[in-house]
């Protein structure tokens, strides 16, 4: 039998961790002296200790290691545990690779333009949502209120219940920028379903991956924000994949002070294919 100190040296596990493993039932002493509380291990337990160390080095948590040790002699079960961890680590490695690339491109961009971090671009997925939608050709972009007024007027008796978040947004469907007669759609996410009206369409919108940047203040900044998003999309090997839209987190309808407006500029994107590189 080995005292806990000797077992610690041979197993290369600290006494503190051996006591922790004992408390978890992961590696319990073979015996404990009732008179002095000394813990004793036998030599065969060094193999269990070695397995614990190896599994920890592979990234397994202690609760999972406890499960694995029970089935350790079952080669098929052990291989399944290892395969699952391998897939998990590969996903983490891929995400780490993307993060590293974003850091590298941001550093490179900052060396060329010290204002590049004024707007931070985020890649995320806008979830599937049920929306009230109005789409029309309006005289110009600054007359978007025509659409919101239509939405409010035609649904005033419906007791609409905005979802949380509401995702009040405007989608700009034209292929390029236009001076007039612009094709714009507004959407507002809802909790409950309704029947269409003359101009308001209620529909479910699929989830979508976007590159977006949030800015606070007047819409005069939008060209600069667009440039930052475009640079990010190019630097990170994505490409545009749909109509640009804006989410209004704090809109002119909520405050007339432009300094308080909060807008998120969003571009649907997809990973650039090798064919387009």
d(CA 265, CA 148): 19
Contacts of 36 (CB under 8 A, 6+ apart): none
Strand, helix or coil for residue 21: helix
Average pLDDT over residues 84-90: 94
Reduce the secondary structure of 216-228 to three states and give it as a string. Answer: ECCHHHHHHHHHH
Cα-based angle 229, 175, 251 (whole degrees, multiple of 5): 55
Whether the pLDDT of residue 10 is over 60: the answer is yes
d(CA 236, CA 106): 10
d(CA 141, CA 219): 11
The reported pLDDT for the residue numbered 123 is: 93
pLDDT bucket at 216, cuts 50 / 70 / 90: confident
Q: Are 213 and 122 in contact (CB under 8 A)?
A: yes
Q: Looking at per-residue confidence, does 222 or 124 come out higher? A: 124
Q: pLDDT of 193-203, one tens digit each?
A: 999 999 999 99
Average pLDDT over residues 142-170: 95
Q: Is the dihedral of CA 249, 253, 254, 256 positive or negative?
A: positive
The reported pLDDT for the residue numbered 237 is: 87
The reported pLDDT for the residue numbered 22 is: 93
Q: pLDDT of 30-67, one tens digit each?
A: 999 888 888 999 999 999 999 999 999 999 999 999 99
d(CA 46, CA 62): 17
Strand, helix or coil for residue 133: strand
Strand, helix or coil for residue 108: helix
**pTM summary value:** 0.60
Q: Beta strand 201-205 with 2-3: parallel, antiparallel or unpaired? A: unpaired
d(CA 119, CA 224): 9
The reported pLDDT for the residue numbered 19 is: 93
């Amino acid at each position: 039998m080995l005292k806990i100190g000797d077992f610690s040296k041979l197993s290369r596990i600290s006494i503190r961790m051996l006591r922790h493993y004992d408390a978890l039932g992961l590696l319990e002493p073979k015996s404990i002296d009732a008179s002095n509380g000394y813990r004793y291990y036998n030599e065969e337990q060094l193999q269990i200790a070695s397995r614990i160390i190896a599994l920890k080095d592979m990234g397994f948590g202690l609760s999972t290691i406890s499960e694995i040790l029970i089935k350790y002699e079952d080669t098929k079960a052990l291989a399944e545990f290892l395969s699952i961890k391998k897939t998990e680590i590969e996903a983490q490695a891929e995400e780490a690779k993307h993060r590293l690339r974003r850091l590298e491109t941001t550093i490179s961009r900052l060396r060329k333009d010290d204002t590049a971090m004024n707007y931070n671009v985020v890649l995320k997925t806008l979830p599937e949502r049920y929306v009230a939608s109005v789409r029309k050709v309006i005289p110009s972009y600054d007359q978007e209120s025509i659409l919101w007024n239509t939405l409010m007027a035609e649904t005033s008796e419906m007791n609409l219940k905005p979802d949380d978040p509401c995702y009040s947004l405007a989608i700009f469907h034209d292929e390029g920028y236009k001076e007039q007669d612009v094709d714009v759609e507004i959407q507002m996410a809802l909790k409950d379903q309704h029947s269409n009206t003359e101009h308001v369409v209620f529909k479910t919108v699929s989830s979508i991956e976007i590159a977006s940047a949030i800015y606070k203040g007047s819409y005069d900044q939008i060209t600069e924000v667009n440039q930052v998003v475009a640079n990010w999309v190019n630097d990170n090997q994505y490409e545009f994949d749909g109509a640009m839209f804006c989410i209004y987190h704090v809109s002119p309808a909520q405050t007339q002070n432009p300094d308080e407006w909060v807008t998120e500029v969003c571009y649907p994107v997809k990973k650039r294919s090798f064919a387009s590189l």
